[in-house]
Amino acid sequence: MSLIVAARFTTFPAAESAAQKLFDAGFVEEDVTLFFVNPRGQHARYPIGGGTGTDPGAQDAPKGAGMGVTIGAVIGAVVGVAIFAAFSAPLLVSLIAAGVGAYVGSLAGAMSRTRKQGEHVHRSLHRKESRDSGVLVAVHVSLDNQLEAARVLRDAGGMSIEKATGRWQQGRWADFDPLRTPEPLNEFAEKHA
């Protein structure tokens, strides 16, 4: 694993300027990379988009569908029996009414559970992501020059200076995970009042 120091910039020109300052300080191009980190929840880690494999708001949908099937089938059966009794309709109509009621009930139950849970889970999911979006300048460093890299990044206007361990391959941070909580470099941690 490689030691990496990184800082966030708001624009590509600011990040490119910081990279040039790193080169001027003796860091080589192979050890410096910059890339954009998408806003929270927009990491497109999956073919359909998004940063997670499932919609967290849908986790209770099966429970809602189960309750809806039961309630819908009972209501549909009652309606079917009422139609059967009032109009002397065939028994098949009662069964169809129960089936339609079960289907509509499962849909309504699943959707009601999804809507209620979705807003809360969506907010909590984004609270778990602590990395802000922006252009990240990452530097492959050693124990000897990590503080120098952090100083150059800070002096160039870098924010959220962090340290990490990861795979540095072919001049880039190969296993960067935007969902992983950054570990601030203590000597350069931002002071909050």
The reply to whether 15 falls in a domain is yes
* CATH number of the domain bearing residue 176: 3.30.70.260
More confident residue, 10 or 84: 10
Measured distance CA(130)–CA(136) in Å, rounded: 14
67 and 104 housed in the same domain: yes
Average pLDDT in the 145-170 region?
Answer: 94
The reply to whether 84 falls in a domain is yes
124 and 136 housed in the same domain: no
CA atoms within 13 Å, Cβ hemisphere of 177? 11
- Residue 12 sits in which domain range? 2-40+132-188
Measured distance CA(139)–CA(172) in Å, rounded: 9
Percent of the chain exceeding pLDDT 90 equals 38
The reply to whether 193 falls in a domain is no
Measured distance CA(100)–CA(112) in Å, rounded: 18
From 109, 128, 147, the end of a domain falls on 128
Strands (E) in the chain, as ranges, are 2-9, 32-37, 134-141, 159-166, 168-169, 172-173, 183-184
The whole-number pLDDT of residue 124 equals 47
The whole-number pLDDT of residue 148 equals 95
28 and 71 housed in the same domain: no
The predicted model scores a pTM of 0.57
The reply to whether 119 falls in a domain is yes
Percent of the chain exceeding pLDDT 70 equals 75
For CA atoms 9, 130, 180, 145, the dihedral sign is: positive
Please, are residues 111 and 64 in contact by the beta-carbon 8 Å criterion? yes
The whole-number pLDDT of residue 11 equals 94
78 and 31 housed in the same domain: no
Structurally, the chain folds into a number of domains equal to: 2
Q: How many residues are present in the chain?
A: 193
182 and 138 housed in the same domain: yes
Summarised one tens digit per residue, pLDDT across range 44-72 is 555 555 555 555 666 666 777 777 777 77
The reply to whether 34 falls in a domain is yes
From 102, 128, 154, the end of a domain falls on 128
105 and 84 housed in the same domain: yes
The reply to whether 46 falls in a domain is no
123 and 136 housed in the same domain: no
115 and 141 housed in the same domain: no
Measured distance CA(43)–CA(51) in Å, rounded: 5
From 128, 145, 172, the end of a domain falls on 128
Residue type, 158: G
The reply to whether 145 falls in a domain is yes
Residue type, 89: A
120 and 146 housed in the same domain: no
91 and 122 housed in the same domain: yes
70 and 27 housed in the same domain: no
Measured distance CA(158)–CA(151) in Å, rounded: 9
Average pLDDT in the 99-113 region?
Answer: 77
The reply to whether 50 falls in a domain is no
